[in-house]
A and B are shown apart, each in its own frame.
Chain A
Amino acid sequence: SAVISQKPSRDICQRGTSLTIQCQVDSQVTMMFWYRQQPGQSLTLIATANQGSEATYESGFVIDKFPISRPNLTFSTLTVSNMSPEDSSIYLCSVGVVEQFFGPGTRLTVL
């Protein structure tokens, strides 16, 4: 299994600001995934990030709100833009095509 780290582990942000979350993997992977887990809820896929191409977003998520970068095969960032309290969630990155492994998550609180 891959070892995945995320930064920051948690943050408290003001409404209207943006936060960039980093995800680092200890091995090269083709696909990386970003999920949102709202309080007490299940995991919802935001987008799939492939190195060298635009991220693919799921229904209900748009690039302007959640821009993603994938500069190499071990790293990705997710930005939560123009935040509102409704964006308060845990954001998780994961890797793996057949078996998915998750990072520790970034707990975001928007005031």
Chain B
Amino acid sequence: GENVEQHPSTLSVQEGDSAVIKCTYSDSASNYFPWYKQELGKGPQLIIDIRSNVGEKKDQRIAVTLNKTAKHFSLHITETQPEDSAVYFCAAATGNQFYFGTGTSLTVIP
């Protein structure tokens, strides 16, 4: 089955700096790659996603890149703010089968 690895497990950045979280996957059949943000006491929220026919997608301060050949994808957050502090999960999916990374705890220091 699919194996998704996510790094780093924890990340601290100064407010205003950029944050990058990286994931790799093993199954070349995976074709959908969402990112979720989970705040304390809440369920994961979809923040951005990318499909296998696209290399990059941007939504305001958040961007995701995908390299299908190398089987890795990354989340980029620019101009970080304290409210970006949360746990971020990547996932790789084929159809309705989702495989999640182990999460990155991001702390933005004011």
Contact = CB atoms under 8 A, between A and B. Distances in A.
Q: How large is the interface on B (under 10, 10 to 19, 20 to 34, 35 or more residues)?
A: 10 to 19
B73 to A, nearest CB: 16
A101 B11 CA distance: 25
Q: How large is the interface on A (under 10, 10 to 19, 20 to 34, 35 or more residues)?
A: 20 to 34
Contacts of B36: 102
A92 B95 CA distance: 20
Contact of B34 (A33, A48, A99, A104): A99
A43 B34 contact: no
A97 B95 contact: yes
B51 to A, nearest CB: 9
Contacts of B103: 41-42
A14 interface: no
Given A45-B98, A98-B32, 10 more contacts: A41-B102, A43-B44, A97-B96, A100-B34, A100-B98, A101-B46, A102-B45, A103-B43, A104-B43, A105-B41
